[in-house]
Amino acid sequence: MFRKLFLFFILFGLISTLNFSVAFAANATREECVAKVQAAVKLAQEKGEEAALAQVADPNGPFVWKDSYVFATSADQAVTRAHPIKPKLVGKNLLHVKDVNGVLIFSEISRVASSASGKGWVDYMWPKPGEKKPSQKHTYIEKVPGTNLAFGAGYYD
């Protein structure tokens, strides 16, 4: 009896740990966002803007992972160039979009992309996928040097 009970607790502990690991793995990290954006920038530099935009726009492509994705925008006017989750945004100027605190999200993204370094973070409130209540989101932006193209990806607290 003791042996069966001991095995039950060991098995229960392993399953609980596995479930926690799977749930935790579903959230993008700060480091992943930077790495994915930098990979999109490198792709645009090596293969050209159109090749990079095509891969970023692919909802089954390498730039969609966990609860995040890379998007592309013009650096100066925040016109969406590629979006894997909401393709209807392509061609739209989003400078007017505000979060619940009044932060002009894409105006800030444009400001960061147009800065001297061409990269940085924008913090704002945005609903997590499938939710209506906004949560803190941090989006890394990086401009492709010598172009008007910038890529971004974000994670939630």
Task: Return the SS3 of 17.
Answer: helix
Q: What is the pLDDT of residues 51-71, one digit of tens each?
A: 999 999 999 999 999 999 999
> In 26-133, where does DSSP find H-type helix?
30-47, 49-57, 105-113
Q: Are 119 and 14 in contact (CB under 8 A)?
A: no
**How buried is residue 78: exposed, middle or buried, by Cβ count under 10 Å (0-12/13-18/19+)?**
buried
Residue count (the chain): 157
Task: Say how many C-beta atoms besides its own lie within 10 A of residue 136's C-beta.
Answer: 12
| Sole residue written with tokens 């945005």 | 126
Per-residue pLDDT band at 7 (split at 50, 70, 90): very low
Q: Does 23 score more than 80 pLDDT?
A: no
Q: Does 14 score more than 90 pLDDT?
A: no
Q: Are 134 and 127 in contact (CB under 8 A)?
A: yes
Structure tokens at 115: 């800065």
Per-residue pLDDT band at 9 (split at 50, 70, 90): very low
Per-residue pLDDT band at 25 (split at 50, 70, 90): low
Domains and CATH numbers, the chain: 27-156 (3.30.450.20)
Q: What is the pLDDT of residues 120-151, one digit of tens each?
A: 999 999 998 889 999 999 999 999 999 999 99
Average pLDDT, the chain: 88
Per-residue pLDDT band at 1 (split at 50, 70, 90): low
Is the full-model pTM beyond 0.85?
no
Work out whether the CA dihedral 43, 48, 53, 55 comes out positive or negative: negative
